[in-house]
Amino acid sequence: MHQPPIPHVARTDPEIASLIEHEARREFEKIRLIPSENYVSVAVLEASGSVLTNKYSEGYPGRRYYEGQQFVDVIETMAVQRAQALFGVEHANVQPYSGSPANLAVYLAFAQPGDTIMGMSLPMGGHLTHGWPVSVTGKWFRSVQYGVRADTGRLDLDEVRDLARRERPKLIFCGGTAIPRTIDFPAFAEIAAEVGAVLVADIAHIAGLIAGGAHPSPAGHAGVITTTTHKTLRGPRGAMIMSTAEHAKALDKAVFPGLQGGPHDHTTAAIAVALHEAAQPGFRDYAHQVVANARALGGALTARGYDLVSGGTDNHLILVDLTRQGIGGKPAARALDRAGIELNYNTVPYDPRKPFDPSGIRLGTPAITTRGLGEEHMPAIAAWMDDAIAAAAKEDEAALDRIAHEVRDLMAAFPMAGWTTV
Catalytic residue list: 56, 58, 202, 228, 231, 237
For residue 124, the minimal CB distance to ligand DSN (Å) is 14
Of 99, 119, 180, 328, the one binding ligand DSN by CB under 6 A: 99
For residue 120, the minimal CB distance to ligand DSN (Å) is 13
Identify the burial level of 220 via C-beta atoms within 10 angstroms of its C-beta, where 0-12 means exposed, 13-18 middle and 19 or more buried. exposed
Quick check: 121 binds ligand DSN (CB under 6 A)?
A: no
Residue 108: alpha-carbon gap to chain centroid: 22
For residue 363, the minimal CB distance to ligand DSN (Å) is 11
Site string for ligand DSN, 125-164 (x = CB under 6 A): --x-------------------------------------
Contact assessment for residue 31 and residue 412, using Cβ atoms and an 8 Å cutoff: no
Quick check: 177 binds ligand DSN (CB under 6 A)?
A: yes
Instruction: Provide the H-helix boundaries in 198-349.
Output: 207-211, 245-253, 265-278, 281-303, 329-338
Query: What secondary structure letter does DSSP report for 130?
Result: G
Helix (H, G, I), strand (E, B) or coil at 138: helix
- Closest to ligand DSN by CB, 2 vs 127, is 127
Q: What is the CA radius of gyration of the chain?
A: 22
- Closest to ligand DSN by CB, 36 vs 121, is 36
Contacts 24+ apart (CB under 8 A), 54-62: 55/265, 56/262, 57/262, 57/263, 57/265, 58/256, 58/257, 58/261, 58/262, 58/263, 59/256, 60/252, 60/256
- Closest to ligand DSN by CB, 99 vs 328, is 99
Can you tell me the distance from the alpha carbon of 351 to that of 373, in angstroms, rounded to the nearest whole number?
32
- Residue 250 sits at φ, ψ, to 5 deg, of -60, -40
- Closest to ligand DSN by CB, 191 vs 224, is 224
For residue 139, the minimal CB distance to ligand DSN (Å) is 18
- Closest to ligand DSN by CB, 36 vs 243, is 36
For residue 175, the minimal CB distance to ligand DSN (Å) is 11
Of 31, 36, 38, 210, the one binding ligand DSN by CB under 6 A: 36
| H or E element at residue 94 | none
Site string for ligand DSN, 351-390 (x = CB under 6 A): ----------------------------------------
For residue 178, the minimal CB distance to ligand DSN (Å) is 7
Helix (H, G, I), strand (E, B) or coil at 420: coil
- Measured CA distances, 35 to 44, 81, 202, 353 (Å): 20, 28, 15, 22
Burial letters 125-142, b for 16+ CB under 10 A, else e: bbbbbbbbeebebbebbb
Contact assessment for residue 58 and residue 47, using Cβ atoms and an 8 Å cutoff: no
- Closest to ligand DSN by CB, 72 vs 239, is 239
Residue nearest to ligand DSN (CB): 36
Quick check: 226 binds ligand DSN (CB under 6 A)?
A: no
The residue type found at 422 is V
Can you tell me the distance from the alpha carbon of 183 to that of 310, in angstroms, rounded to the nearest whole number?
13
- Closest to ligand DSN by CB, 36 vs 57, is 36
| H or E element at residue 191 | helix 185-195
For residue 319, the minimal CB distance to ligand DSN (Å) is 12
Q: How many residues bind ligand DSN (CB under 6 A)?
A: 4
Can you tell me the distance from the alpha carbon of 168 to that of 166, in angstroms, rounded to the nearest whole number?
6
For residue 366, the minimal CB distance to ligand DSN (Å) is 11
Region 298-317 residues binding ligand DSN, contact defined as CB under 6 A: none
- Closest to ligand DSN by CB, 57 vs 359, is 359
Torsion of CA 250, 256, 259, 260, to 10 degrees: 160
Contact assessment for residue 375 and residue 292, using Cβ atoms and an 8 Å cutoff: yes
The binding site for ligand DSN (CB under 6 A) comprises 36, 99, 127, 177
